[in-house]
Amino acid sequence: MKKISIYLLAIGLIAGAGCKKSELQQINPNQPTPTGSLTSEAGLESYGAGLLARTIFPVPNEGNSNILTISMIFHSIMGDETFLPYGNFGFRYVNQVYKITLPSGTVITTPIGVPQKSTLQGFNSRAAGETNAFMYEWTINYFFIQQCNEMLDALKGNISYNGDAATKKAALQAWAYWWKGYAYSRLGSMYLSGVINNDATGGTNGTFVDHNGLITEANKNFDTCSTLLGTLPAVGNAGYNEVMTALVLSFNDNAHIVTPAMWIHQNNSYKARNLLVNKKVSAMGAADWQSIITLCTNGLTATDNYFKFGMTQDGNNDLSNSFLQPLAMLGPNVQWTFLSERLVQDFKTGDNRFTKGVLRLPDPPATDPDYGLSSFANLRSRGLQLGTRWAAVPIENGGLYATGNNTGYVPLACTYEENALMLAEAYINSGQIETGLGYIDAVRNFQNAGLPAVKGTGLSLAAAKEELRLERRIGLMQRGVAFYDARRWNVTAPVASGGGRANAIVYVPGTVLGPSGTPSQALPCFMEYNYLDYWDVPQNELDFNAPSSGSAPVKN
Amino acid sequence: MKRLYGLLSAFFIFSVQLVLAQNIDVRGRITDANGAGIPDASVTIKGTKNGTRTSADGSFKLTAKPGVILVISAIGFESREAAASQDNINISLGQDIRGLSEVVVTGVGVATSKKKVAIDVASLSSKDVAKSTMGSVEQALIGKVAGAQVQINSGTPGTGATIILRGLNTLGSSYPLIMVDGIEVSDLNGIDLGNVERVEVVKGAAAGMLYGAQGANGVVQVFTKKGSRNRKPEINFTSQMSFGKILTGKGSIIAKNHSFETDAQGYATSNGVRIAPDVNGSWLTPDYIQSTNPFVQQNKPYKEQTFDHLDQAYSAAKTFNNSLNISGGGEKADYSFTLSRYDEQNVLSNNYKRTSLASNIGIEPVKGLTFRNSLQTIFTSDDLISGDPDASIGGTSSNRFGLFNSFPFIDFTKRDSTGHYVVSANQGDKTTKNPLSEPDWHSRNTSQTRIVENANINYKFPKFVELDYKYGIEMWSIDRTNYYLNQSAATQSNVAFWGQNVNGSIQNDLDKFTKQNSLATVYIRTDFEKDFNWKLPIKTTTQFSYDYRKNEERYYFANGSILPGFPPYNITVAQNHTSGDYYSTFVTFGYLFNQSIDYKDLIGVSGGFRSDYSSAFGAGSKPFTFPRGTIYFRPTELMKMGFLTEWKLRAAYGGAGIQPGVYDRQATLNVLQLGTASTIFNPSQLPNSNLKVQQSRELEIGTDLTINTGLEDFLKKINISFSYWHHKNTDIIQPADLALTTGASKKIDNLTTITSRGIDLSLDAGVVTNKNFDWQFGFRLGTAKSVATSIANGADIVNGFFTVRQGQELGLFSYQAPLSSVSQLQQDGKTPYIAVADQGKYQVVNGIVVDTATKKAVMSAATDQKSAGSAYPSFTASFINTFTIKKNFIVSFQLDWYHGNKIYNIVRQWLYRDRLSADYDKAVTINGNSGAYVNYYNSLYNNVQPSTSFVENGSFLRMRDVSLTYNLPPTALAHWAKNLSFTVSGRNLFTITKYSGLDPEATTTADTQGNLAGAPGNYTGAIKGVDYFAVPNLRSIQVSLRVGF
């Protein structure tokens, strides 16, 4: 037995040689750790820039997709700038117009048979996967908020800065507060209610505040951002420029730096937007208009740079995967969104933006050479609103609203034009119609519309408001306000509440109008959109975060 | 070491002395009942290890003292003994149809006779392999092992199999631990069947405990071909050729009729104008007759010429498999060399090639000490570009979509003015491309080298102790290149192109992977009678092992985009460059102690434990310990039981695990190159620093019995093996959904419990046994049901088409369903879906409630989901019959049967979108009127997805194999060959199924868009129950020739 123990020992030794417990401490060599990276200036800049990487989310059934783009598209299609006939990401249920009344009086109800509210609420479950439209804007904005919370928390630590520490720290903090302001603004302008989450450890809470509460929180963050920026030189300095060049992604245009002064203007404009878009226009009072005038007077100017969303030319290393970016989606290669008849009818005759930006699709069998597409009506029998005679000229061919080769930007937040048109609206509604019209002219000139001035033409209040409506439709195309406008102008409300749009052009299929062979016709119809004003909180949240008592309602 | 040498030399002298005694040459031939020689039978001198093996014709020669007893044994036959003499010894062995003579290793630790094994170990030797099997171990296993569901989900070459052993134990992969000659390797796919002698399968944790934290899914062990001592070189050559076409189901899945607007002549029109292809072959979408008219019917035959797109795209494919084996051995060594070449054509005109070189050399320099080295080098290359959506085998999801979802009047073979196939053949749907055009613009190549090296030193002391050390290393090097040409000058470049951008891109990948396994074992054996002279017929075996495993991976990729419009196509010439890398290291080690005690052959118990450490375990890397105990009892040892000649009762209990993901315990930030910046950000799926191993506990109770009916020719002997098993799987890793306001959507955690139970039954019988006709029958049955008994928060886990719901079966299809009665109530149990006053306006048509006015189906609410069954079959069974006629003709066939499994037919659902499904041709009767109403079918697609309407019965009975073999009788063979046989076989010749798709086996885990489950944040599903445009398996004919020299 002695021998046995010797051999056992030998085996044991061989065994022991491979059995270093320290070998079990395998560290992931591929990815940085929070403690290793969020303690340096470079790490925090990468982390700040990485906020936008969070827009790439593994959507059920779709894989990694840009959910910020998806929510931007929702706004465009509900605002009827564009339409999207496909079911992916729940798109087609979002622009499901309830009823369309033809000039003949024939009423065509959506093939689904019920208004948008019933459909969207029906899909409000985790089981509905990608079709649950409620989840996208919610998800991306809370992802922004949480990463900003962690970024602000990390900035409290002992960070080594290269150079002007105070400036760099302030710029990094301003970035995080701005994104929180942006996220709460989007949430508060879209959802019935939400939570205010300042937890930097990945926790949350069950206190749902109503959308006004979220807007208050948004404005608070914008104010903090402005205060921080106010400590810096108005045009920035080398340290500031360095940080901003790192934070803004190259394909989102980091060459045109948003200086502290421009950024403060942005915050003021956004606060004005938050006020304007969250009240029905009929509920706006004199004080509201005055607030808008005050904010917008200190808002974005024609020379201010602003935050944008673009693409890389080869579709690599950007957020779009060559596809999920608003300009690309409307472009000839993707053709997911299409130019709405209802947008095109809002161009005034002689508008250069129409000549430059819009092309008439030939009627079948001819096709447009860029799009390989003919005019079409009632695509896949999914609704009469899903047809058009128009397409957007690609930017690379001199157009304005679409691209086939990843060219161009859409603004992420407010622009000079929006600020000017808010001023216009506020002045028109405050009895200073001519002042207001001047801003409309300024926007048209800024966009080289080539339209005659309306200021000084003695327009009535109603006519001035119509000029404003037209210019907000065209001048702010793809600027993220189309749905907000349709909501506050009561266009998307049910007919019973005075909603709908009369004389809305619909490209009606000939087969609905007459016997086989009847050509499709663009006819003025009455459209009852009947959309929800504010969306329900997605069930994806409520399944794991039940509202505590006293919370605001989470569902319509 | 001096002591060891002393010992060794002492033995050497002793054995030499033995040889010096008066010896004679003993010659003979071992045959089966039919008189055919049994190759590779073992002939040993009783009580010693000395002996030889028979050659291919069954003959042997050895030197022995006259009168010593020879023990003759062969796998698949009952052993016999005979005295050595100078006369020719001709011995016929009886068939051992249940293989009780076999010795098994897997799951028992030490080579043990099947008679005394307390667990269910299935084994498969080369003679059991269906003749139509071409070069693949996975294919060889199909239908052969009760309780082993082995399914090849695609006809694309190189597709590995899904293997599920006894139900599901995890939400992750069900793939078992794969071993080659006692050493862990990464997978079976690519292992050359020509080099395989035998495969053993153990199906659960009771046996898997020996393999610890990796054994819960069961173990498949491959034993490679070995030579035999004292044998002249033998050469065996096998050549196989197969010719196959894809399975296409029962009839066309595409509608014969359409419902487009037409002109007076009946041709489809768009805006009143007859449609025609443009110069490139691209068509306008004709106008659908508007479904605002509920009376629209799909009843217009195409006036245009139509094309069968499957026929246009899929060609017949040939496969060649050639294998040459040389083996033999001297007095102290044996050797075997195998060279194989496998060439498989893809039905989409690409190729998969594999060359394998294998050697297995054993040396016994001194008695008791053996060295063995086996080495397999496998070179694989392929240029597959399109096929399955599974990116891991080179497919992309979009390419085959168009094959199905295209109007029949589109001609995919149309070429444009530049000679290229039309890319976008449907102007109304740019994203759906012509799959035939992809090879014009996209090339892909993979070449890989895989080396499986296994070295073994074994020393057996004369008594008590055996030391064994194995070291295995598997090395993979995979080199891929994948490029899309610059298509900016292509005729349709503005609207459709292949790849990410029109200007082309190229990606090269290099993946190097090593897997090391070091296994040291001490066995201590005692025999109380022999060793201690105690009058107790007890034998004991103690096993102590130390098992160390380490996996390392290094991966690099480089990507170039925007290529010039001229060759060469490489990254250097690309305008933009991106690159990246990935490294991983995984270490696990553990100790095993196992003790077994046998009392005669009557009863035996064993027990032990294994303790494992792993770099993937969280919270301080504490070890996890798995217990085990087994017992068997053979009543037939105690009493004569008439016709019951062999009866064993057995039970086993054991635990084993499944490791967490390599770095899932570590909190890290994600990295993404965005523009010119490398950004970092929080992951949406959180890791978990406390992650534990997933644990499976198995209880297995079974019996093995042999019935000797005493009849002469008919049903002489029946063997039955039966097991009941129960698994309790705890700490199953689940990516649990989180409230989104936390800033993350999921967190990995050990939250789920899964229980499974089922039975395995094997029955083998010699139905007819006589000289001129022999009929062997085998039946295999496995049932399994796996239920998620608890999941976090009780909240459903939803992934693609699959829902994991507490208390329900895994693989569940649960969706909104069409109402089945007009008075059906909503989930609240009170409110009818249709107001009572309106119920008269609805009717049940084909079991579905339809609005008689609109002809549309009415669906249940989104929150009101109905279970439509599970993708997992309630049982799988197979029937295997082998008939031997006049010794030389062998006819065999195998039928495989899946029952109770459901398939989500996403192909059919997509075809509903464009009114292309053959279902649209079928008339339904609504309100007394019969017609192929478009609204009826369209409403099943249009309003919800997914829906139970597309869940179908996936049960099938498939003629897996039928073969006819002719063995040339030895008399017909000249001296140039020892044996020669010729086989004609057919594979998948027919299928009986209600399934309406192409092939009920060609399924995946994909969702509606073709994303596979298993992406980050998803559970991998394990169950492949979705028909997502996979390439169907092939119906094929094989011709093969086997010759031995």
pLDDT tens-digit map of B694-720: 999 999 999 999 998 888 888 888 999
Within 13 A of A121's CA, how many CA atoms are on the CB side?
A: 13
The whole-number average pLDDT for the span B342-353 is 89
Q: CA B55, CA B928: separation in Å to the nearest integer? A: 77
- Dihedral over alpha carbons B770, B773, B774, B779 (to 10 degrees): -130
Q: Are B676 and A250 inside 8 Å of each other by CB?
A: yes
Q: Provide the pLDDT for residue B12.
A: 40
Residue written as token pair 């045009």: A235
| Residue type, position A160, single letter | S
Q: Does A37 touch chain B (CB under 8 A)?
A: yes
Residue B3 has a pLDDT of 46
Report the pLDDT value the prediction gives residue B800, as an integer from 0 to 100. 78
The pLDDT of residue B543: 94
pLDDT of residue B942: 66
What number of residues does chain B have? Answer: 1045
| pLDDT value, residue B333 | 92
Is the confidence at residue A5, as pLDDT, over 70? no
Beta-bridge partners for B474: B452, B515
Q: Decide if B500 and A143 are in contact by the 8 Å CB cutoff.
A: no
**Token pair of B316 as six digits:** 């017949």
| pLDDT at position B435 | 86
Q: What pLDDT was estimated at residue A301? A: 98
What is the rounded average pLDDT for all residues in chain A? 93
Joined tokens for residue A487? 């909501």
Strand, coil or helix: A442: helix
The dihedral sign for the CA sequence A30, A36, A42, A47: positive
- Count of other CB atoms within 10 angstroms of residue A335: 22
Q: Could you tell me whether strands B317-329 and B333-345 are parallel, antiparallel, or unpaired per DSSP bridges?
A: antiparallel
Does A515 reach chain B within 8 Å, measured CB to CB?
no
User: For the CA atoms of B594, B600, B602, B604, what is the dihedral angle to 10 degrees?
Assistant: -10
Contact A314 B503 (CB under 8 A): yes
Measured between beta carbons, which residues in chain A are less than 8 angstroms from residue B613? Answer: 21, 24
Our CA-based measurement puts residue A125 at a distance from the nearest CA of chain B, in whole angstroms, of 7
Of A342-351, B458-467, B748-757, B796-805, the range with the lowest mean pLDDT is B796-805
Rounded distance between C-alpha atoms, residue B636 and residue B578, angstroms: 71
Give the mean pLDDT of chain B: 87
Q: What is the DSSP letter of B707?
A: E
Could you say which residues from 361 to 400 on chain A have a Cβ atom under 8 Å away from some Cβ of chain B? 363-365, 367, 369-374, 376, 378-382
The answer on pLDDT for B395 being more than 50 is no
Whether residue B253 has pLDDT greater than 50: yes
The percentage of residues in chain A with a pLDDT greater than 70, rounded to a whole number, is: 96
Under an 8 A CB cutoff, do B798 and A149 touch?
A: no
Residue B794's pLDDT is 85
CA distance A342 to chain B (A): 22
Q: Which of A106, A143, A144, A375 to mutate to test the interface with B (most CBs of B within 10 A)?
A: A143
* Angle value at C-alpha B344, between B338 and B348, nearest 5 degrees: 165
How many secondary structure helices (H) and strands (E) does chain A include?
21, 14
Q: Which residue has the tokens 């209600």?
A: B994
What integer pLDDT is reported at residue B393 of this predicted model? 31
**pLDDT at res. B1024:** 82
Give me the pLDDT at residue A511, please: 80
Mean pLDDT of A388-397: 97
* Interface size between A and B, measured as CB pairs under 8 A: 351
Average pLDDT over residues B212-240: 90
**Chain A contact present for B290, CB below 8 A:** yes
The span from the CA of A202 to the CA of A34, in Å, is: 13
Kindly state the helix (H) or strand (E) to which residue A5 belongs, with its residue range. Answer: helix A2-17
Beta bridge partners of B244: B317, B1036
Interface test with B, best of A380, A403, A407, A521 (most B CBs within 10 A): A380
What is the rounded (10 degree) CA torsion for B383, B388, B391, B395?
Answer: 40
Judge whether residue B17 has pLDDT over 50. no
Q: What is the pLDDT of residue A408?
A: 96
Residue B1035 has pLDDT above 50, yes or no: yes
CA angle, corner B425, sides to B423 and B430, nearest 5?
Answer: 80
Please state the rounded mean pLDDT for residues B570-590: 92
Categorize the per-residue pLDDT at A415 as very low, low, confident or very high, splitting at 50, 70 and 90: very high
Cα Dmax for chain A: 115
| Residues of chain B with C-beta less than 8 angstroms from the C-beta of A51 | 681
Which pair of structure tokens corresponds to residue B897? 């049967």
User: pLDDT band at B862, cuts 50/70/90?
Assistant: confident
Reply yes or no on whether the pLDDT at B388 is more than 70.
no
Place B7 in a pLDDT band, splitting at 50, 70 and 90. Answer: very low
* Coil, strand or helix at A467: helix
For residue B484, what are the β-bridge partners? B442, B505
State whether A24 and B621 contact (CB < 8 Å): yes
| DSSP E strand boundaries for B501-575 | 505-527, 538-561
Contact B520, B468 (CB under 8 A): yes
Q: Which two tokens stand for residue B303?
A: 């006036």
DSSP sequence for B348-387: TS-EEEEEEEEEEEEEEEETTEEEEEEEEEEEEEE---SS
Considering the entire predicted model, what is its pTM?
Answer: 0.90
- The residue of chain B nearest to residue A112, with distances taken between CA atoms, is B943
- CB contact B132 to A (< 8 Å): no
Q: Which residues of A touch B672 (CB under 8 A)?
A: 50, 53, 56
Contacts 24+ apart (CB under 8 A), A458-466: A459/A433, A461/A428, A461/A433, A464/A428, A464/A433, A464/A436, A464/A437, A465/A428, A465/A429
3-state DSSP assignment of residue A299 = coil
Q: What is the pLDDT of residues A463-507, one digit of tens each?
A: 999 999 999 999 999 999 999 999 999 999 999 999 999 999 999
Structure tokens at B19: 């040889």
Among A3, A37, A195, select the one facing B669 at the smallest CB separation.
A37
Mean pLDDT of A398-417: 96
**Residue B46 pLDDT grade (very low, low, confident, very high; cuts 50, 70, 90):** confident
A210: left (phi over 0), alpha (psi -120 to 50) or beta: beta
The answer to whether A331 and A403 are in contact (CB under 8 A) is yes
If residue A353 lies in a helix (H) or strand (E), which one and from where to where?
Answer: helix A352-357
Q: Which of A33, A322, A516 sits opposite B261 (nearest CB)?
A: A516
What are A65-95's pLDDT values in tens digits?
A: 999 999 999 999 999 999 999 989 999 999 9
User: Does the CA dihedral A408-A413-A415-A417 come out positive or negative?
Assistant: positive
DSSP sequence for B431-448: TS--GGGHHHHEEEEEEE
> In this predicted structure, which of B210-214, B325-329, B533-537 has the lowest mean pLDDT?
B210-214
Give how far the C-alpha of residue A262 lies from the chain's centroid of Cα atoms, to the nearest Å. 21
Binned at pLDDT 50, 70 and 90, residue B9 comes out as: very low
The answer, yes or no, to whether residue A16 has pLDDT greater than 60, is no
What is the radius of gyration, based on Cα positions, of chain B? 32
Confidence of residue B610 (pLDDT cuts 50, 70, 90): very high
Asked if A111 lies within 8 A of B942 by C-beta distance, the reply is yes
Residue B887 to chain A, least CA–CA distance (Å):
52
Contacting residues for A283 by C-beta, under 8 A, at least 6 apart: none
pLDDT for B14 equals 39
pLDDT of residue B852: 93
Please state, in angstroms and rounded to a whole number, the distance separating the CA atoms of residues B943 and B940.
7
**A552 residue type, one letter:** A
pLDDT at A129: 85
Tens of pLDDT, residue by residue over B53-103, are: 787 778 888 888 877 888 887 766 777 788 877 777 788 777 655 455 577
Task: Give the residue with greater pLDDT, B397 vs A180.
Answer: A180
3-state SS assignment for residue A509: coil
pLDDT tens digits for range A131-153? 999 999 999 999 999 999 999 99
> pLDDT tens, A304-353?
999 999 999 888 889 987 789 999 999 998 899 999 999 999 999 999 99
pLDDT greater than 80 at residue B621: no
From chain B, pick out residues whose CB is under 8 angstroms from the CB of A250: 674-677
Q: Residue B225's closest CA among B329, B145, B353? A: B329
> Given pLDDT bands bounded at 50, 70 and 90, which one contains residue B845?
very high
Nearest to A372 among B495, B524, B800 (CB): B495
Phi, psi of B961 (to 5 degrees): -150, 135
Q: Which of residues 564-623 of B touch A (CB under 8 A)?
A: 575-576, 578, 581-587, 589, 591, 613-615, 617, 621
What mean pLDDT comes out for the span B334-357? 92
CA B471 → CA A13, B219, B610, distances in Å? 16, 19, 20
The answer to whether residues B1006 and B945 touch, using CB atoms and an 8 Å cutoff, is no
pLDDT of residue B969: 79
Predicted pLDDT of residue B18 = 41
d(CA B661, CA B173): 11
> In what side-by-side order are the strands of the sheet with B802-804?
B797-799, B802-804, B812-815, B866-870
Is B734:B797 a contact under the CB 8 Å cutoff? yes
pLDDT at B42: 82
